[in-house]
Amino acid sequence: MLLMYFFSLLPIPVLAVTAIVMYRRKQHKLYPVFWAYVIFQFSRCTVEAIAYGVSYAAFFYSYWSSSALSVIFRLLLLRSIFLTVLEGYAPLHRLRRSGYEVAFLVFWALALFLTFHNYGGRRVSQLILDAGQAASFIAVGMFVFVVGSSALLGIRWTSAISGIALGLGLLGTADLAVFAGLSHNHFISTTAAGWIETLTYDCAVGIIAFCFVPRREEIRIPAAIEPARLQWVDSIRGALSE
């Protein structure tokens, strides 16, 4: 457990350096939601490390409350990415304005149905795991929606946006796998789940730091869509409006 505790502390200085570098380069103005997310994750890791040394109850409440806030932050960050990558594409104004919210409602309803369709006789611990699984499913679903819509439209991302999305994708996938494994007859042990979460979190923080800490020039990507893809979007829009 001491080794896992050591690995759980590694992201703290990395997140601090990332936040400071972004502030000095004025990147917190370009990516305000992401910068707030980095500050939140730094605070979360610090508070959880202190709570772990205080008592199990303190760590329990700090972990689950921060996990809930983290999911909300991820959804807001994915929405920010979605709006950013579609900015400047006039034909996609309607998709940019309401596409994310519509997809969120679809995944939200699907997650509730898949997780709680057989509700009854569940303990509090099982309900917590099921809620975590539902939230993770929504986060992963929205990640797939954001990445998939950009891929279908042929929209290229900058390295910064790609790093953020990759980090969020890793975190969401790990959370979904862990919560699904723990909630379904404890398919994985709590120790294995802890290692998966810790190492995945370290990798995600490392990827994000690699994309923001080293100084690099971002290549400006022209806002243009191939005519065939634009025609496909128009056909989908027409089918939905009928």
DSSP 134-194: HHHHHHHHHHHHHHHHHHHHT----HHHHHHHHHHHHHHHHHHHHHHHHHTT-SS-HHHHH
At 122 the pLDDT is: 63
pLDDT tens string, the chain, 242 residues long: the values are 678 888 999 999 999 999 999 999 999 998 999 999 999 999 999 999 999 889 989 988 998 899 889 989 999 999 998 888 887 666 667 777 788 888 889 998 988 887 766 655 567 677 777 788 888 888 898 899 888 888 877 777 888 888 999 999 999 999 988 888 887 766 678 888 889 999 999 999 999 999 999 987 765 555 555 555 555 455 545 544 55
Distant-in-sequence contacts of 80-87, Cβ < 8 A, 24+ apart: 80/31, 80/33, 80/34, 81/146, 81/161, 81/164, 81/165, 82/146, 82/149, 84/161, 85/146, 85/150, 85/155, 85/157, 85/161, 86/155, 87/223
CA angle 224, 225, 227 (to 5 degrees): 130
Burial (Cβ within 10 Å: 0-12, 13-18, ≥19) of residue 16:
middle
Q: What is the dihedral of CA 38, 40, 42, 48, to 10 degrees?
A: -150
Contact 128, 64 (CB under 8 A): yes
Q: Are 71 and 104 in contact (CB under 8 A)?
A: no
Rounded distance, CA 8 to CA 177, Å? 19
Integer CA distances (angstroms), 131 to 57, 102, 123, 142, 192, in order? 20, 21, 12, 17, 20
Q: How many CB atoms lie within 10 A of CB 231?
A: 11
How would DSSP label each residue in 8-22? Answer: HHTHHHHHHHHHHHH
Per-residue confidence (pLDDT) for residue 95, from 0 to 100 = 72
Domains of the chain are 2-241 (1.20.1070)
Q: According to the model, what pLDDT value does residue 222 have?
A: 53
Give the model's pLDDT for residue 152. 78
CA-only gyration radius of the chain, Å: 20
